[in-house]
Amino acid sequence: MKKFLGILVAVMAFSFSLFGAEKSPLFVNLTSDEEHRTLMAVQFSTKMMEKGHALTIYLNDKGVKLASKENKQYAEFQSKLAEVIKKGATVYICPMCMQHYKVEGATLVEGIKLGNANLLESALFTKNTTTLNW
């Protein structure tokens, strides 16, 4: 009977590890407007989301310039950002940085949300969140 219980516990533990565990969320803080760095950030983030990690991207400092469709030099990034939003990622943008860099809300890639302390706190401090900076 002990052997049977041991096997049952092992099978249940294995099953929970395969099916019950959620993967930790990923929070990407994107402050750069450098083409290579930003494309690397969004491509890496997309791969992690495809592996089952919930994804939040926060565009701040110079990163806000990436989100404006008026900035045609970032068209490739904007296309990849739109794709990841359609797949379920959440993308926030810093309103104060938008004002500083003169980025207008009407020009943003569709689906980007204005960030605020409550939204960012919820995403950033979700249990087991991993944070990366670019």
Q: Which domains does the chain have, with CATH numbers?
A: 23-133 (3.40.1260.10)
Q: How far apart are CA 12 and CA 103, in angstroms?
A: 53
pTM: 0.83
Mean pLDDT of 62-91: 97
Q: How far apart are CA 20 and CA 18, in angstroms?
A: 6
Kindly state the helix (H) or strand (E) to which residue 105 belongs, with its residue range: none
Strands 113-114 and 90-93: parallel
Mean pLDDT of 24-49: 95
Q: Please tell me the predicted confidence (pLDDT) of residue 1.
A: 60
Q: How far apart are CA 27 and CA 96, in angstroms?
A: 20
Q: Say whether 116 sits in a helix, a strand or coil.
A: coil
pLDDT higher for 4 or 100?
A: 100
Q: Report whether pLDDT(91) > 60.
A: yes
Q: Please tell me the predicted confidence (pLDDT) of residue 49.
A: 96
**Cβ-proximal residues to 45 (8 Å cutoff; 6+ apart), any chain:** 26, 28, 55, 57, 84, 89
Kindly state the helix (H) or strand (E) to which residue 123 belongs, with its residue range: helix 117-124
Mean pLDDT of 87-103: 98
